[in-house]
Structure 1
Amino acid sequence: MKWTKIGQIYQVTSNYPETISHASNPVALHLRGDIYRIFYNGRNVHNKSSISFVDFDIVQNVILRDHQRPVFTFGSDSSFYSHGISLGNFWKLGDLSLLSVMSWRFEDSEYWNGQIGLLRLVNRSNLVLYLNKPLVTNDDQDDISLSYPFVIYDSGVYKMWYGSTISWSSENGEMIHVIKYAISSNGMDWVKMGIAIPYEIGTAQAFSRPCVLVDKYGYHMWYSYRSGTGLKYRIGYAYSLDGLNWKREHSLVGIDISASGWDSEMICYPFVFNHNEHRYMLYNGNEFGRTGFGLAIMENETHRVQ
């Protein structure tokens, strides 16, 4: 596969204190025709994250509406999302449109505690808590911190891929944070199935923000990863026939940093989706999306990993 970068399609210009910087973890919600509502995470001066959106014409490549004002913000000091909410993806539970998210909380440590929460989309613009508690929490299988979930309904089962911290540090100083897999019959009660994407110290050991598509060739996953060699985030790719057993195929990802500009140091937080027989990727650049997000389109969309 090969991606052609369309460029940075949104730059942060917010006058709202909750979204004064960053437009991270973009997620596309189809509104009508060629119009998508792209939700993202903005931050305040204390790096607490909230959610806002822009409306974008994917064919004309133009922002139609820059909402800026947050539609969901971080919680009280006692809440499980006291330091912010980061976007996973939208999915359906019956007639409900839900958004899986990562919650952030800092306590008496330099490290954060992340858990997986659930919001409900109202009128395709507002977000409210669906559960006033985490959907998936720390336990003996995930005893440190959880991160970005991605949920689909497939073959009569809800399937979730999510991040889990194994260690804050390894022999090369980089954290070990992996992508795991869970299943559910009702979307609320989850059975954890263990590590999905194999990690390797010094090659790929700090994963973040999976995005999964299923087509006639199998399961495709894109994510951010760090190798532990000092390089900043890159976008990786893995392939599976069953959604359970995956093979990393980073040489096939077809997208990398640019020679200069807003995504010349880092590319991260991919969100891949199909529109009118084309496959697109929203993604962030330098400093975890401090200045905004970009868009790429896949050139050879029919491919099969052997």
Structure 2
Amino acid sequence: MHWRKLGIVYAPPGDRDWASSHAMVPTPLQISPEVIRVFVTFCDANGLGRPGFVDVDANDPTRVLRVSERPLLDLGAPGSFDENGLLTCSVLPMGGQRLFLYYAGFELGTKIRYRLLTGLAISDDGGETFHRHSSVPVLERSDQERHIRGGPWALLDQGVVRLWYVAGSDWIDLNGKSMPVYDLRYVESKDGVHFPSHGQIQLRVEEADEHGFGRPCVIRKPDGGFRLFYSVRRRSFAAYRLGYAESADGIHWRRMDAHLNLDVSPGEFDSDAIMYAAPIQIGEQLYVFYNGNHFGRDGFACARLERE
């Protein structure tokens, strides 16, 4: 695959208290023939994330049309699983003006650094406003997935909500810092609200150097089958790199990381890290939105597939 990087699309200018920095985990959804809405997580001065959106031109995804003036959701109530920030990961059309927004909530720990569990918010006006489905997660911790059940990505397929996510229960020490170990898993739901207590493992960390995957994104290929974009976290260095896989059924995957060919660029905003790639097919053109160094501190960028 050969990509043309189109550069940074949007970075917060710092004029809003709730969105003073970062534009993390870009999550695109075409809301009209002319507009792609890119849902992102902005951070306040304390590094706490709240979801918002950036509308871009579907014919030129580097052209910003509109930015949300208020957060789509605020921090969770004290003691809740998302009291320390929300990370938007997937937005699923459910018919009409209804959207399901799946997000990872941050809960700080004492004997572990944090938990990441999946929450659900619902919009009935096409993504202008959202409300929480519940103050507790829809992917709650379980015996098999005690600490991490986050990074959700959903597709609606013949009335079934198919959900890919990351999960794990273990931690390792990397240069004196405790880091989670998690793999990529899969569950299904009839209503997008009630999910099994644990998922089927789709991708395991394959190398001794790997210890986790970032938010997976799955889209259908125009000629059949599925594409999977994800991020890979390694023990040898903290920064993410991108991974890629293909599947006929969305369950059995063939890793093709080297085939993706979308990597860091020396001297640029993504010189040390590249992560959270989210694809969107617009007509004949495939785009990905992604973050670079420091988890999107410099905003989010876009790349266009030039050839397979």
Distance of 1:67 and 1:188 partners within structure 2 = 26
2:193 to 143, 168, 188: 188
Report the CA distance between 1:188 and its aligned residue.
Answer: 2.2
- Give the 3-state SS of the residue equivalent to 2:73 in structure 1: coil
Q: 1:203 to 1:2 in 2, by over 3 A?
A: farther
Q: Which residue of 2 aligns with 1:137?
A: 140
In structure 2, give the amino acid aligned to 1:232: A
Q: Which residue of 2 aligns with 1:177?
A: 182
Q: Is the 8 A contact 2:29 2:280 kept in 1?
A: no
- Give the 3-state SS of the residue equivalent to 1:32 in structure 2: coil
- Give the 3-state SS of the residue equivalent to 2:204 in structure 1: coil
- Give the 3-state SS of the residue equivalent to 2:268 in structure 1: coil
Is 1:164 aligned to residue 170 of structure 2? no
Report the CA distance between 1:194 and its aligned residue.
Answer: 2.2
* TM alignment of 1:100-119, pairs within 5 A: 100-109=102-111, 111-119=113-121
Is 1:209 aligned to residue 215 of structure 2? yes
- What are the superposed Cα offsets for residues 32-68 of structure 1, whole Å, 9 maximum, x if unpaired? 2332222210111222110122221142431122335
Distance of 1:150 and 1:4 partners within structure 2 = 25
* TM alignment of 1:28-107, pairs within 5 A: 28-60=28-60, 61-95=62-96, 96-107=98-109
Q: Is the 8 A contact 1:174 1:228 kept in 2?
A: no
Distance of 1:135 and 1:93 partners within structure 2 = 17
- Give the 3-state SS of the residue equivalent to 2:138 in structure 1: coil
Distance of 2:95 and 2:10 partners within structure 1 = 33
* TM alignment of 1:270-289, pairs within 5 A: 270-289=277-296
- What are the superposed Cα offsets for residues 68-112 of structure 1, whole Å, 9 maximum, x if unpaired? 532212122122210111111111335431111111111434511
How many residues align structurally? 301
Q: Which residue of 2 aligns with 1:295?
A: 302
**Identity level (%):** 28
Task: Name structure 1 gaps, 5 residues minimum.
Answer: 302-306
In structure 1, give the amino acid aligned to 2:37: R
- Give the 3-state SS of the residue equivalent to 1:296 in structure 2: strand
Task: Tell which deviates more after alignment, 193-202 or 289-298.
Answer: 193-202
- What are the superposed Cα offsets for residues 199-220 of structure 1, whole Å, 9 maximum, x if unpaired? 1243433101100012234121
Is 1:153 aligned to residue 132 of structure 2? no
Distance of 2:265 and 2:278 partners within structure 1 = 18
Task: Tell which deviates more after alignment, 255-264 or 149-158.
Answer: 149-158
Distance of 1:143 and 1:174 partners within structure 2 = 14
Distance of 1:70 and 1:187 partners within structure 2 = 23
Report the CA distance between 1:227 and its aligned residue.
Answer: 2.4
Distance of 1:200 and 1:166 partners within structure 2 = 17
Distance of 1:4 and 1:249 partners within structure 2 = 19
1:247 to 254, 277, 296: 254
Distance of 2:248 and 2:287 partners within structure 1 = 22
Q: 1:253 to 1:203 in 2, by over 3 A?
A: farther
Q: Is the 8 A contact 2:270 2:291 kept in 1?
A: yes
Task: Name structure 2 gaps, 5 residues minimum.
Answer: none
Is 1:16 aligned to residue 16 of structure 2? yes
In structure 2, give the amino acid aligned to 1:14: G
Distance of 2:205 and 2:257 partners within structure 1 = 12
Q: Is the 8 A contact 1:198 1:246 kept in 2?
A: no
- Give the 3-state SS of the residue equivalent to 1:261 in structure 2: coil
Distance of 2:190 and 2:173 partners within structure 1 = 36
